[in-house]
Chains A and B, each alone.
Chain A
């Protein structure tokens, strides 16, 4: 069965500092991987996705993620965090269509 682990439930960073959110997945074949962001009271919005090709993918709002098959990881990074990045971030994996499995989320707090 597919699964996603986000080991950090809550992360606090200072504005301007770099950020890395961890995601490890379990899937038997080549996965489709996603990162979503959720602001309070809102639905989830896609940040970026990986399904093939270059293992470093760029997303919206200056985020990027790197797919590492050997480590079953898909970590999300941003070189300089802005106060508006404070939100909850979800990693997700699927082999296709509706069988999408989400991680439990990482809540990001940004300190001025």
Chain B
């Protein structure tokens, strides 16, 4: 059982480049989220989805786009990378009941030069 799979694990970009962080889950979870983790700031919600075709903004959405065409996949797009987006990105999924925990991927470590 793979759980939540994120690719790539590491990436270095130049300012202005674009890229997509991939996230896939095999637990048939309706809810998926993207977080960024920065030292001293914990995890901050970027975007989330409550099902295929439905997405919404979290706490820090600027500079990021998402889409949810299938239940399994929830890619995060950086349209024009900036050094402030250097971070560790985590994708998570959870079931439909509010007391269910988040299942996290292993993260993508992204550096913007």
B residues adjacent to A (C-beta < 8 A): 4, 31, 33, 35, 40-45, 48, 50, 56, 58, 90, 92, 94, 98-99, 101-102, 104-107
Is A97 a contact partner of B99 (Cβ separation < 8 A)?
Answer: no
Q: Are B45 and A98 in contact (CB under 8 A)?
A: yes
Report the minimum CB–CB distance from A89 to chain B (whole Å): 11
Q: Is the CB of A98 within 8 A of B41?
A: no
Interface size on A, residues (CB 8 A): 26
Contact check, B106 vs A34: say whether CB atoms are below 8 A apart.
Answer: no
Contact A98 B48 (CB under 8 A): yes
Given contacts A43-B105, A44-B90, A98-B50, contact A51 B99 (CB under 8 A): yes
Query: A43-B4, A97-B31 in contact; A102/B99 too (CB < 8 A)?
Result: no
Instruction: For residue A62, give the distance in angstroms from its CB to the closest CB of chain B.
Output: 18
Which of chain B's residues have a CB closer than 8 A to the CB of A9?
40
